């Protein structure tokens, strides 16, 4: 199995292995869905350095969130980036 590369970091000119389940944008999957990157699954343009920089900062905020309310606040910011037809809102 080939290791994945983090597409956010790649857009920023860095090669870093995808942290998979350690990343807040990772979805574990379920009965109908394989595990994978939520950003890729939603079709977000990860080749744009400006958007990648924003998402990288948001990822770090999520990783540093001290409690559920901080994680929810950061996830709300992420949800605002996603078109309603993809986010289920």
pTM across the whole model: 0.69
Buried b (16+ CB within 10 A) or exposed e, 3-40: eeebbbbebeeeeeebeeeebbbbbeeeeeeeebbebe
**Residue 76: per-residue pLDDT:** 77
**Residue 87: per-residue pLDDT:** 46
pLDDT at 88 over 60: no
Three-state DSSP at 17 gives strand
pLDDT tens per residue across span 4-50 = 899 999 999 999 999 998 898 888 876 667 888 888 888 888 888 89
């Amino acid at each position: 199995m080939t290791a994945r590369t983090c597409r956010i970091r790649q857009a920023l000119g860095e090669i870093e292995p995808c942290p998979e389940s350690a990343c807040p944008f990772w979805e574990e999957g379920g009965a109908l869905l394989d595990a994978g990157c939520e950003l890729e699954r939603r079709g977000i343009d990860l080749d744009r350095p400006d958007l990648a920089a924003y998402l990288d900062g948001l990822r770090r905020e999520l990783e540093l969130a001290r409690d559920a309310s901080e994680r929810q606040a950061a996830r709300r910011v992420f949800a605002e980036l996603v078109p309603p037809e993809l986010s289920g809102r």
